[in-house]
Amino acid sequence: MKTLLLSFSVLLLSICAHAQTYEGPQEDIDGIIAGSRQFSKYVEAGDKEALAGCYTSDGKIFAGGRPIIEGTSDLAKYWTRDSEVTITYHKITAIEITVIGDLAYDYGLYEGTTRLADGTESNWQGKYVVVWKKVKGKWLMYLDIWNSSPKD
């Protein structure tokens, strides 16, 4: 019986560890989730212009080991992929989204797969924080920071 209770407790804790918490109008939450999904599609497509368009005109990314990158032109340049690299999979999972008026933040996990020209694939994962702004009724990323996590 103790083993069963311990197993149930571990299962419950693991489910709660990544429970999603969303606060704010459902329409806004849905807009942010849709924006994240579209972002992943653009990453997979390698569409640097569309990726830059996911950010506000004064949007900024805080990529590891680099200065802050801001502005549509520099964001598109950052998202320009080496022709030898293909991202075949990208997924964002929000753990928490909080909407406060026309601003919101979310944090969570990302994962993906990169394929090199020789067919070699590597999987990667990490965590992120995004501050969103609602611009003309559409949620766009204003501040975007992420870093990798060790593989499980």
Task: Please check whether residue 7 lies inside any domain of the structure.
Answer: no
- Number of domains present in the structure of the chain: 1
Of 96, 53, 83, which Cα lies nearest the Cα of 71? 53
Q: Report the CATH number that the domain containing residue 124 is assigned in CATH.
A: 3.10.450.50
pLDDT digits (tens, 9 = 90+) for 68-107: 999 999 999 999 998 899 999 999 999 999 999 999 999 9
Domain that holds residue 79: 21-148
Examine residue 9 and state whether it is found in any structural domain, yes or no: no
Contact 14, 7 (CB under 8 A): no
113 in any annotated domain: yes
* Any domain includes 3: no
Model-level pTM? 0.85
Q: What are the pLDDT digits (tens) for 99-141? A: 999 999 999 999 999 999 999 999 999 999 999 999 999 999 9
Quote the pLDDT of residue 19: 83
Take residue 37 and report the two structure tokens written for it.
């999904």
Whole-number pLDDT of residue 150: 85
Q: Is residue 136 part of a domain?
A: yes
Residue 18 pLDDT class (50, 70, 90 cuts): low
Residue 62 lies in a domain: yes
Task: Give me the residue label for tokens 């998202």.
Answer: 79
* Mean per-residue pLDDT of the chain: 90
